[in-house]
Amino acid sequence: MTEPLEDAKGVAPRLRLSDLLGARVVGADGRVVGRVRDVRARREDDRFLVEGLVLGTAGIRARLGTRAARRPEPLHEGDLVPWDRVAEIAPGVVRLRAG
């Protein structure tokens, strides 16, 4: 079962961080891009909005707070997938749209 990213009114469903962490990220071409290691979000009023998915070992270091990850933005190009690239979420898999 996949989760729609928006309902008919354009409202995104609530997600648990545990639904995303460790999930395989698959490109529109079907190739595995990596695994979700962390999530970037911003607070808006009383909720958090996901801005992107952090992939790879840089994401693990950022989540664990290692010395290299304490810089303001420890990620390299390709380590962060913007949330608007996500097409669907299925158990253990995040599928991306082309682009």
Q: What is the pLDDT of residues 79-89, one digit of tens each?
A: 889 999 999 99
Q: If you search the block for the tokens 């989540």, which residue do you land on? A: 63
Sketch the domain layout of the chain as residue ranges. Answer: 17-96
Distance CA 73, CA 9 (A): 34
Per the structure block, which two tokens stand in for 56? 């790879």
Pick the CATH number of 17-96 from 3.30.390.10, 3.40.50.720, 3.40.50.300, 2.30.30.240: 2.30.30.240
Give yes or no for residue 61 having a pLDDT over 80: no
The β-bridge relationship of strands 32-44 and 86-90 is: unpaired
Mean pLDDT of 12-19: 78
For range 1-15, the mean pLDDT: 57
**What's the CA gap between 88 and 94, in Å, rounded?**
6
Q: At 15, is the pLDDT very low, low, confident or very high (cuts 50, 70, 90)? A: confident
pTM: 0.72
Choose between 71 and 97: higher pLDDT: 97
